[in-house]
Amino acid sequence: MRHVDFSPLYRSTVGFDRLFTMLDSLAQPEGGQTYPPYNIERTGEDAYRISMAVAGFSEDEIAIEAHRNVLSIKGERKDEANGDGSEVLYRGIAARAFERRFQLADHVDVTGAKLKNGLLHIDLKRSIPEELKPRKIAISAASDKSAKQIEAKADTK
């Protein structure tokens, strides 16, 4: 049973219009996917950023793919063999493979990605095509001379 009503948030979302609809439909159980953690933030009027904590992964171990309205991020660590003969007694830094998918709103494009200090930043930009943007229609005043008047003859019998 869901205790959160997302309907007031539909009005304030731009770019991730389907985000709350997806949250409604998913209804994830408590054991849902939580790795790696991420943030979604608005960086401008039509600009967004997804920041994902991927500590221990390098650029060549992460693959980012945007296809239609789905952004997929996959990470797979290569096996690390300790060359000095040491063994790990406790592994607290996750080294498991992951795959995250994000539903993007229409006309949202990935503009870039960078890995800095263990955070993967993916920049998104919403660009609405010119033909889909609202346009102003000018209203012209009709002149009296151009209006035609139709008169009917009265039938007198």
Place of tokens 């009503």: 5
Q: What is the pTM of this model?
A: 0.61
5-49 pLDDT, tens digit per residue, is 655 665 555 566 566 556 655 554 444 567 888 998 888 888 999
Instruction: Please write the tens of the pLDDT for every residue from 110-152.
Output: 999 999 998 999 999 988 888 877 888 888 886 656 556 667 6
Question: CA-to-CA distance for 104 and 73, rounded, in angstroms?
Answer: 13
Predicted confidence at residue 55, as pLDDT, reads 84
**pLDDT for position 65:** 93
Does 88 or 43 have the greater pLDDT score?
Answer: 43
- The topology (CATH level 3) of 7-79+94-129 is Immunoglobulin-like (2.60.40)
Q: Where are the domains of the chain?
A: 7-79+94-129
User: How many Cβ atoms from other residues are within 10 Å of residue 150's Cβ?
Assistant: 4
Q: Is the pLDDT of residue 51 over 90?
A: yes
